Structure 1
């Protein structure tokens, strides 16, 4: 059943092997990063277009990036070798661990029973924390290289989780649709551009300040509790 995927793995391996493609052979994880980003954005474009053929093609391009990086790692590029089978195994373990309401013991199935996506998200951070107990902040693991809007959305969500922001409070703007929100954002960017400001940089700076506030709240809570770590409810 995995024949086609195995064929793709073999193609990537042959391209990088002696006698294969010189360009492929010259690449490393860092040089491939920009292509991974490009392919991910092209997939997003395809999804937004809703065209089956485009989505099929772009999913393949993203998949090939995973296969390529895995083939590099299998050659020892990152120290102890691993291959795409190891990647798949770790990913499966992670998904199983994060879904005890599906894969858990009878006790876990009862404890984490979920009927809606919101029910699942109530325990999501706790499941992730079990994977990485060394993390001491709800911000740990958020990629700071995210585009500013995506980063802002992530950080605001974390601020709501620790009670720094009220998720149920009305926002400063009354927005009734995504189209209206888009128009407001576009107007803000246009106003910033007219004034000579970089909207991406401006938002990134504001998000950095919010992250400082989050860490201050976490530190204060930890000091009050006499421990350092994530809030118990997370």
Structure 2
């Protein structure tokens, strides 16, 4: 089956699922808002398959994510708003516009120049929509780390930024001191505020090091999970329940787990 035939088949399946005559009752009840949680879940499952290097699973998850786009497009078609062809055409035109160094005659020498041109074009697009703020249209629904990094990147594009990673580290030291003072005073409101500043600063450090903060934390989560699973195994092999283990024993298990997983680049 060709790519066109496969896409046509998927669109036809979606149309039938939403057909009041013989369609799926669940699909017929859905609207734009109701399927957003599924879209977010499918996007994270794609990321998980990639991080696990599970290509068969990735193929399946990409299909699930594509179905989300097809679902929204069907809803748009039913409301005479847009259809799948409109969606595909819109992203094609956007990519053509944002890649003049590939599809036009503009010469951009390196990755930094390409990135700056991309941001300039996005700024022009925001202005054309009547969005004057540099921080306009950054979705509130983004994961907090991703949104923090995007806010910082936008600000950096207009020169509001630290010059070096060391400058960010110095700022982190300052925020740490303020958090310590709030904790010493047992001021929960101040602690939450200062801890937020520390986390925001850490995201800034990741950005300066050209690391993605969300990815870095996801990797840390996976590392903790692997090591904790190793600790669980050691607890089981000990023949004792968790409450029977002292903090010192559990710390020893943790150190062993770290040693056991070093070969996994933890």
TM-score by length of 1: 0.68
Residue 7 to residue 159, structure 1, CA distance change in 2 (3 Å): same
Residue 169 to residue 204, structure 1, CA distance change in 2 (3 Å): closer
Partner of 2:145: 149
Which residue of the other structure, out of 1, 5, 10, is the alignment partner of 1:8?
10
**Post-superposition shift, 1:157?**
1.2
Partner of 1:203: 196
Q: Which runs of 4+ in 1 moved over 3 A?
A: 171-174, 195-200, 202-207
State whether residues 162 and 168 of structure 2, in contact with CA within 8 Å, keep that contact through their aligned partners in structure 1.
Answer: no
Q: How does 1:115-126 map to 2 (within 5 A)?
A: 115-126=109-120
Question: Given the alignment of the two structures, is residue 97 of structure 1 paired with residue 90 of structure 2, yes or no?
Answer: no
RMSD: 2.9
State whether residues 14 and 71 of structure 2, in contact with CA within 8 Å, keep that contact through their aligned partners in structure 1.
Answer: yes
Partner Cα distance (2:38, 2:85) in 1: 22
State whether residues 98 and 118 of structure 2, in contact with CA within 8 Å, keep that contact through their aligned partners in structure 1.
Answer: yes
Higher normalized helix content (fraction of residues): 2
Between stretches 127-136 and 153-162, larger displacement belongs to 127-136
Residue 199 to residue 67, structure 1, CA distance change in 2 (3 Å): farther
Unaligned runs of 5+ in 1: 175-187, 208-234
**SS of the counterpart of 2:134?**
coil
- The aligned length equals 180
Partner Cα distance (1:16, 1:161) in 2: 44
Residue 34 to residue 8, structure 1, CA distance change in 2 (3 Å): same
Partner of 2:81: 81
* C-alpha distance after superposition, 1:109-159 (max 9, x if no partner): 2xxx22433221111122123333222122112112211111111111122
Partner of 1:166: 162
Which residue of the other structure, out of 40, 44, 47, is the alignment partner of 1:41?
44
Partner of 1:219: none
Between stretches 113-122 and 85-94, larger displacement belongs to 113-122
Question: Given the alignment of the two structures, is residue 31 of structure 1 paired with residue 24 of structure 2, yes or no?
Answer: no
**Post-superposition shift, 1:171?**
4.5
State whether residues 98 and 124 of structure 1, in contact with CA within 8 Å, keep that contact through their aligned partners in structure 2.
Answer: yes
